[in-house]
Amino acid sequence: MSHNHGDTIPLHPSSAQSDMDEIESLIHAAPSPATVLPARPPSPTRASIPVSSSPAPSPVPTKPPFPAASIPISVSVSPVPVPASVSVPIGADGFGSPPNTLTEPVWDTIKRDLARIVSNLKLVVFPNPYREDPGKALRDWDLWGPFFFIVFLGLTLSWSASVKKSEVFAVAFAVLAAGAIILTLNVLLLGGHIIFFQSLSLLGYCLFPLDVGALVCMLKDNVILKIVVVTITLAWSSWAAYPFMSAAVNPRRKALALYPVFLMYISVGFLIIAID
Amino acid sequence: MMSGGGYSALDDPKASGSVPAATGTDPQAIRFADSNLQTFPPSEARGKIAGAYRPPTDADDTFSSKGGGAGSGGRGGSAGSDDAAQGGWFRMFSVAAYKPYFDVDTSDVVERIWESVFPFRGTFTEKTSENPDLYGPFWTCTTLIFVAASIATFVTYLSHKWHKKEWNYDINLVTWSAGLFYGYVTFVPLLLYVILKYLSAPAGLVQLWCLYGYSLFIFIPASLLSIVPIEIFRWVIAGVAGFMSATFVAVNLRAHIVNSGERWFLIVAGIFLLQLGLAVLLKLYFFTITV
């Protein structure tokens, strides 16, 4: 007898656990019909209100003597307003809420993209508290801004050149595009932790000051003025790129990662000064 | 009540035989204890196993999702490791394959540059035999390309200004210097590697690239000094830089191949003359005034 009791005792915990699981599953199953049930009453209430309002004066004397007749009247009237009331809440609830950008005007699309580029530019080139953290500084990175700045600089240098315009554009574009890629690979090879395209994006945005410098130098053809303008914009670009590159690699290799960046900017600056 | 009745029934035979009664009671107690011990651990173990299995699954999911969220960097890393494990020709397209050749610190690179400025020591090969790098060769070469092109532009600009003539920037200086220096540092060590392998004195290809890359460093200050508009001074600068660079390569290579055979002198002499040729070419093309 005691053996039988001992055998049955350990079975109870497992069976109890299974029972608890079943109860939990029932509890989880129970709320779904519970939520469905309250959804039905609102529509009948909405249906009942217009029914009571519309036939209010005429059926008042007839309701008490013929309750059975009044009930089928309300039932027959209720299906008519139900679809109208149901369709409106459905549209308001979820199906219609996401904005459809497919049919928006092209100008709105361009405006939104330009706004993003401007905000990214402000984050990269101007002071902000997130300069050390590229994840926060350039969360919504893109490659359209960098591409625009590279092409703009190439075109500006090409227009400034008196001879060999196409070759000037080719060399400028090659130096800038390949330079950004090589700088990113350099950091990766030194064991740094950066996202490849985010780095390309950030280095491209750092070209903005040099773009401004190139534009000024194209308009003014004075060597001394060119040197001053390029020096200022060169320092600005280097200042913008410094925290990102220095934070990406081991402190013992910081100089190895930063030197190529300065070399590229100095080379671009020299091209801006030399091309007349 | 029923159990009480059974108990009283058992008391009678137990009273007659005290010894079997005692033995009967003890085994029951022991078995009961065993059954209790057996019940608790399995349930706990099951609970622990069930609890332990789920978090690792979630952790794996989060890690994979984080990896995906990190973007191409994380994928590149994983792809690199996969390619490294697999081997084959896909490996050369992954960044991780080249990391051993960039495993240097700032102090290492500075030390090697300083070593190249003192060519007669002949200890560069020994110091870099453990971990030759490609960072120094590549960026020394790149620096030399831009410095040479820039100084050449500046020199010709000043010359034209001095002679009141019109001057236009020559963009081909950059492309030509890039072709010259990248080509030299890439193909001359490759050729030397083949020759040494043929002569059964093999040297590491990366080590040769490292040696030749750092040997070009001396030309950077030489280019800067060539701004001085005195022709004799420029020739002296080119000669000194060429001699130092050629000596650096020759001494370090001689230390490596002097034991291999009888043709080491020809190889070292050829290397020396080739390096001097580079210096002369640099002088003639970049620092010659053509008004």
Minimal CA–CA distance to B40: which of A14, A80, A263, A126?
Answer: A14
CA distance A52 to chain B (A): 56
Residues of A in contact with B71 (CB under 8 A): 195-198
Nearest CA in chain B to A193: B73
| pLDDT, tens digit (0-9, with 9 covering 90-100), for B103-131 | 888 888 887 888 888 887 777 877 777 77
> Do residue A167 and residue B28 have CB atoms under 8 angstroms apart?
no
Question: Is residue A256 within 8 angstroms of chain B, CB to CB?
Answer: yes
Residue that wins the pLDDT comparison between B133 and B183: B183
DSSP 8-state code for residue A92: I
A263·B146 Cβ contact <8 A: yes
**Could you give the angle at which helices B172-198 and A165-189 cross, rounded to 10 degrees?**
50
Q: Which residues of B touch A191 (CB under 8 A)?
A: 99, 102-103
Question: Pick the residue with more confidence: B141 or B93?
Answer: B141
Which pLDDT does position A19 carry in this prediction?
Answer: 57
Q: Where are the domains of chain A?
A: 110-274
Residue showing tokens 């009141």:
B164
Residues from chain A that touch B142, judged by Cβ atoms under 8 A, are 260, 263
Cβ neighbours of A267 in B, within 8 Å = 146, 150
Closest CA–CA distance from residue A77 to any residue of chain B (Å): 54
- Chain B's closest residue to A261, CA to CA, is B139
Q: What residues of A are in contact with residue B150 (Cβ under 8 Å)?
A: 267, 270, 274
The three state secondary structure string of B37-100 is HHHHHHHHHHHHHHHHHHHHHHHHHHHHHHHHHHCHHHHHHHHHHHHHHHCCHHHHHCHHHHHH
Coil/strand/helix, residue A197: helix
Question: DSSP of A29-67, one letter per residue?
Answer: HTHHHHHHHHHTTHHHHHHHHHHHHTTSTTTTTTTTT-H
Whether B39 sits inside 8 A of A9 (CB atoms) is yes
Question: Given A191, A197, A260, which is nearest B139 (Cβ)?
Answer: A260
Residue of A253, A254, A259, A266 for testing the chain B interface, max B β-carbons within 10 Å: A253
CB pairs < 8 Å spanning A and B: 96
For residue B75, the chain A residue with the least C-alpha distance is: A195
pLDDT, one tens digit per residue, over B7-32 is 444 444 444 444 544 444 444 444 44
- Which of B99, B106, B161, B217 to mutate to probe the A interface, most A CBs <10 Å? B106
Q: Is the pLDDT of residue B213 over 90?
A: yes
Sequence-distant (≥ 6) Cβ neighbours of residue B253 within 8 angstroms:
B125, B192, B211, B267, B268, B271
Pick from B250, B249, B283, B255: nearest CA to B137: B249
**Partner-chain contact A13 B43, CB within 8 Å:** yes
Q: Which residues of A touch B101 (CB under 8 A)?
A: 189
Chain A residues touching residue B35 (CB < 8 angstroms) = 6-7, 9-10
Q: Which residues of A touch B72 (CB under 8 A)?
A: 195-197
Question: If pLDDT is split at 50, 70 and 90, which confidence band does B259 have?
Answer: low
Mean pLDDT computed over B179-200:
86
Residue A203 · residue A143 · CB < 8 Å: no
CB nearest to A190's CB, from B73, B102, B169: B102
Q: In A, which residues are within 8 Å of B139 by CB distance?
A: 259-260, 263
Task: Pick the more confident residue, B284 or A71.
Answer: B284
Q: Does A162 touch chain B (CB under 8 A)?
A: yes
Q: How far is A111 from chain B (nearest CA, A)?
A: 27
Segment B62-79, tens digit of pLDDT: 333 333 333 333 333 333
The tens-digit pLDDT sequence of chain A (276 residues) is 444 444 444 444 545 555 566 666 666 555 444 444 444 444 444 444 444 333 444 344 433 443 444 444 434 343 444 444 344 444 444 555 566 677 778 878 888 788 878 888 877 777 766 666 666 666 577 787 898 889 998 988 887 887 777 878 898 889 889 999 888 888 888 888 778 888 888 889 888 898 889 988 888 778 888 889 998 988 988 888 888 777 887 787 888 888 998 898 888 898 888 876
Mutate to test the interface with A, among B101, B138, B171, B177 (most CBs of A within 10 A): B171
DSSP classification of residue A94: I
Q: Which of B169, B172, B177 to mutate to test the interface with A (most CBs of A within 10 A)?
A: B169
Give the count of alpha carbons within 13 A of A1, CB side only. Answer: 4
Q: What residue type is A126 in one-letter code?
A: F
* B38 pLDDT above the threshold of 50: no
> pLDDT at position A130, please?
61
Contact check, Cβ <8 Å, B31/A6: yes
Closest CA to B104 of B248, B210, B216: B210
Residue B242 has pLDDT above 90, yes or no: yes
Q: According to the model, what pLDDT value does residue A260 have?
A: 92
- Across the interface, of B35, B43, B171, the residue whose CB is closest to A168 is B171
Mean predicted lDDT score pLDDT of chain B: 70
Residue A60's pLDDT is: 42
pLDDT of residue A77: 41
pLDDT confidence band for B275 (50 / 70 / 90)? confident
A116 in Cβ contact with A144 (< 8 Å): no
In b/e form, how buried is each residue of B154-188, taking b as 16+ CB within 10 angstroms?
Answer: ebbbeebeeeeeebebbbebbebbbebbeebbeeb
